[in-house]
Amino acid sequence: MDFVLSEEHQMIRKAAKDFAEQELLPGVIDRDEHQYFPEELIRKMADLGFMGMMVRTEYGGAGLDTLSYVLAMEEISKVDASAAVCMSVNNSLVCWGIQEYGTEEQKQRYLNPLAKGACLGAFLLSEPEAGSDASAQHTTAQDCGDYYLLNGVKNWITNAGIAKVFLVMAQTHPERGSHGINTFIVESDWPGVILGPKENKMGIRGSDTRSVTFQDVKVPKENRIGEDGFGFKFAMRTLEGGRIGIAAQALGIAAGAYERALHYATQRKAFGVPIAQHQAIQFKLADMATRIEAARRLVWKAAWEKDQNRPFGLYSSMAKLYASEVAMWATIEAVQIHGGYGYVKEYHVERMMRDAKITQIYEGTSEIQRLIISRHILQQHG
């Protein structure tokens, strides 16, 4: 793996950085306060190709590699993690899932507008009693011949209030357990699709998170992804790639907090000199820079493995686990370096600290990632 970025990768990183600083930064505190993310910013992200980065050009995407995606994700996340998670779900979960496993008809009908940003997607797996245990699906999809009848509730759905395309996991054959689950493409305006109120979250408050209820929703047979019973495998394979996006988001939050802490430390004076000249602050900055760089290499490694069409599940879990823990730790340190100023909104780091916590929870908690990593290790050892 070459650690020197190509000219194209450097251009993508700069484009994302410029967009984040010029378009996302000015209103980020207000969006966090009022819990919204404006459609015009989504359209601008789409115009730059950020909503379908890894989708092939014949389906309306940018046709870029995973490394390009994580570079952009890091820069967006440095400024606005809410914008980043909106981008991540659309790219890593919805677009990638349809591109890899959808039919040609599904790709033409749904993937093309999703990749172009004409509409957004959401990934509906979690339920009130099916979070860590994703196989315990209580949402049902009854086979009625030409269609499935969908009933159930999904929780913690990112983009739920603004998405037009849902990927929904549901149980069709309870007697088969995880082998009886299917994945369906559901349009959010179909009869029987009911959105819950927006969740009042601690962090990533600009992203739209809700529960979604299905009451006798008729889903055409042609909207099932893959063979009957493929749904659980679809979810697990898609989440492997999704963890790379979340790792990049966590990395960006950590790096953004570090950059703000470094700048503050060179400007703020105590005892007649900038606090960056005090050894206690220097130790913090050194540790932050080191752990963030280690997290960045893990994220790049996972992206590279995926781009080489090699098994990447171990590395995506390692990257997600480590980057999320670094994000939480680094943002706490950034608040500490800022002192009292770190506790107020205008200095941004308190928001970054709140945003960091979710990266340890979604796409599988840190405990789940450790289980996945250990299983990979033991399989390799055996």
pTM equals: 0.96
CATH 1.10.540.10 fits 7-120, yes or no: yes
- Quick one: DSSP state of residue 360? T
Alpha-carbon Rg for the chain in angstroms: 21
CATH superfamily of 233-380: Butyryl-CoA Dehydrogenase, subunit A, domain 3 (1.20.140.10)
Sketch the domain layout of the chain as residue ranges: 7-120, 122-231, 233-380
Query: Identical fold at 122-231 and 233-380?
Result: no
- pLDDT value of position 1: 64
Instruction: State which CATH number among 1.10.10.10, 1.10.443.10, 2.40.50.100, 2.40.110.10 fits the domain covering 122-231.
Output: 2.40.110.10
Q: List alpha helices for the chain, DSSP H.
A: 7-19, 28-34, 39-47, 66-79, 81-88, 96-101, 104-106, 112-116, 231-267, 279-307, 313-338, 349-358, 366-381
Give the pLDDT score at 131: 73
Please choose, from the candidates 102, 163, 168, the residue with its C-alpha nearest in 3D space to the C-alpha of residue 141: 168
Assess contact for 167 and 101: CB atoms under 8 A: no
- Would residue 350 show up in a list of annotated catalytic residues for this protein? no
Please give the Cα distance from 232 to 183 (Å, whole number): 8
Select which of 127, 240, 333, 363 is catalytic. Answer: 363
Below-70 pLDDT ranges, the chain = 1, 132
Q: What is the pLDDT of residues 198-235, one digit of tens each?
A: 999 999 999 999 999 999 999 999 999 999 999 999 99
Residue percentage of the chain with pLDDT more than 90 = 94
Q: Render pLDDT for 29-83 as a digit per residue (tens, 0 to 9).
A: 999 999 998 889 999 999 999 999 999 999 999 999 999 999 999 999 999 999 9
